[in-house]
Structure 1
Amino acid sequence: MQKNGPVALIFHSLVVIFMLAPMVVVCLVAFTPENTLTMPWNGLSLRWFEAVFQHNDFMTSFGNSLKLAFLAATISTLLAVPSALAITRYDFAGRDALNALFLSPLIIPHLVLGVAFLRLFSLMGMSGSFFWLVATHAIIITPYALRLVLASLSSMDRNAENAARTLGAGEWTVFKRITLPLLLPGVSGGWLLAFINSFDELTMSIFVTSPSTVTLPVRMYMYASESIDPMMAAVSALMILVATVAMIILDRLFGLDRILVGKG
């Protein structure tokens, strides 16, 4: 074991470097003063970040993505909590089918979902609606919230709930005062993962967005199809910053170790 220790440490370090290197390169390129995608060897510059904030289309799309991700993540979490409670604690006909239905977006390609939703909305005459864009995002990110809530439920000690019932507490009181607080790390982690996946979704969004509801990833794709300059790196760096800040806040509030292992 001692001989394998240094080898394992080197291997894990190489894996971490391999995963982080692309993001580090993108963030460095965002500070280049040049007009091409180059490393900032001649000094750092904020010109491309200023260009992003002065680009009205990017700022509008950024606002669309934030609003969309917040609403979709909230809806998916509201669906995930009662669904996880039903799947974990009750035995009823169709329980496995319900679980498979909620998790199915993980295995269906988003390209297929995008084409299907586009056709469905066209038939219903509802193409371009922000409401339906939120609904489609909520569908594809619900599995992320559901899996963390399921993990929290499977590891949660139910003695406190049983004690409360013994003392005369009703089911709603038990859920509000005991179950939900114990599930809060898993619920919060699921909401965060759902938010990040919605904010970063591109493949399906291309098919269901309209000119007034273009999200930031779609806007980046449209911009990259016309020209490539360091402003794309600046936008990418800002997206990385949003995800990093969200993770730091969640870690400060609940602790990522508790969330990732599914413990309340």
Structure 2
Amino acid sequence: MARRRSASELSYGLVIGSLAALALVVLVGPILIVLATSFTDSRSIRFPPQGFSFRWYELLLDEVRSRQIHRAVGNTLHVAVVAAGLATLGGTAAALGISRVAGKAGRLADALFMSPLVLPGLAFGLAALMYFTLLGFRPSLELIIAGHLVVVTPFVLRTVGASLSQLDPALLDASRSLGAGPVHTFRRVTLPLIAPGIAAGAFLAFMASVDNVPVSLFLSSARTDMLPIRMWGMMESTLDVRVAAVSGTLILVAFLLMLVMERLTGLTRRMRG
């Protein structure tokens, strides 16, 4: 009996370990390939890379030859910062309101705010374009910010809501019993305790905005070029190796930011809720 149990446990462990290894290869493999390709000495994207060189990173920093990429980066960062900031304010306020509403009303409000994550991105981008066009607006950074705001706010709502669910109500009762008003209680008790969740949500909203393609694709124009759209165009036209260099830079920056946020806010735990 013990032998059968140990054999079954060994088989289970082998299967789970194999699946985990396969998942790791699928997830990490493409990232490693892109990083390796970005250091190629060749004029075209190919793997394995032909030689080793930093030439494409140097070209990426060239203000003249990479002017369009720099402009796209500037637009992307501007949109991401503003959208993440507004999403942090709106998502935090929504999470606070939903936490005080019990029953079906609270669940309905939560589902309504989270619905943009369920909708197909391309469908939402097209719907946003048609809606703003009917209102008479033309593609601009402001419209992209509005579209991104709808998409990234649920990330803030989820992390802040998770922090509020872990908040001990006794602390709020103690604050009120000591004579503190709602504003003072929020500023001195609630806000410091949910601050890590707010920071984690702001980070996730920022990264989701930077990486957003569907909304940017439909709401951008030649003057409001966004980095993902610029990279897609470079891949379609010339297979420019600078795309790999941009990807390598984004991977490195995202990895460093993730480490910082994990250290400061426990990002992984906030995402699990």
TM value normalised by structure 2: 0.88
Bigger mean CA offset, 81-90 vs 164-173: 81-90
**Counterpart for residue 49 of structure 1:** 57
Q: In structure 2, how many angstroms separate the alpha carbons of the residues matched to 1:255 and 1:108? A: 28
- In the alignment, structure 2 segments of 5+ residues that lack a partner are 1-5
Q: Which has the larger radius of gyration?
A: 2
User: 1:29, 1:216 → 2: CA distance?
Assistant: 19
Match of 2:210 in 1: 199
CA contact (8 A) 2:197 2:265 kept: no
Which residue of the other structure, out of 13, 16, 21, is the alignment partner of 1:13? 21
Deviations 1:187-221 (A, max 9, x none): 11111111111100111211101222111001111
Deviations 1:224-251 (A, max 9, x none): 2211132111111112122112212212
Describe the superposition over 1:67-103 as per-residue Cα deviations: whole angstroms up to 9, x where unpaired: 1111111111111111111112224884333222211
Checking the alignment, whether the CA contact within 8 Å between 2:122 and 2:214 is kept in structure 1 is yes
Closer, same or farther: CA 121–257 of 1 in aligned 2, 3 Å: closer
Q: CA deviation at 1:40?
A: 5.9
Contact 2:37 2:45 in 1 (8 A): yes
Counterpart of 1:80 in structure 2 is 91
Match in the other structure for 1:232 = 243
Instruction: Report the Cα offset of residue 258 of structure 1.
Output: 4.0
Equivalent residues of 1:153, 1:183 under 8 A apart: yes
Alignment of 1:129-140 (within 5 A): 129-140=140-151
Structure 2 distance, partners of 1:146, 1:75, is 12
1:127 pairs, out of 107, 130, 138, with 138
Matched with 1:179 is 190
Distance 2:149 2:142 in 1: 11
Question: C-alpha deviations, 1:132-167, integer Å up to 9, x for none?
Answer: 211110001111111111122122222222111111
Corresponding residue for residue 39 of structure 2: 31
Superposition deviation, residue 6 in structure 1: 5.8
1:29–1:97 Cα change, 3 Å: same
Higher mean alpha-carbon deviation, 8-17 vs 167-176, is at 8-17
Give the distance between the partners of 1:180 and 1:43, measured in 2 at CA.
Answer: 53
Matching residue of 1:251: 262
- How many residues align structurally? 262
Q: Among all aligned residue pairs of Structure 1 and Structure 2, give the percentage whose two residues are the same amino acid.
A: 37
CA contact (8 A) 1:31 1:40 kept: no
Please say if residues 72 and 138 of structure 1, whose CA atoms lie closer than 8 Å, have aligned partners that are also in contact: yes
Q: How far apart, in 2, do the equivalents of 1:162 and 1:261 lie?
A: 27
Distance 2:49 2:118 in 1: 43
Distance 1:109 1:194 in 2: 18
SS in 2 for 1:163: helix
Q: Per-residue deviation at 1:16?
A: 2.0
Equivalent AA in structure 2 for residue 110 of structure 1 = G
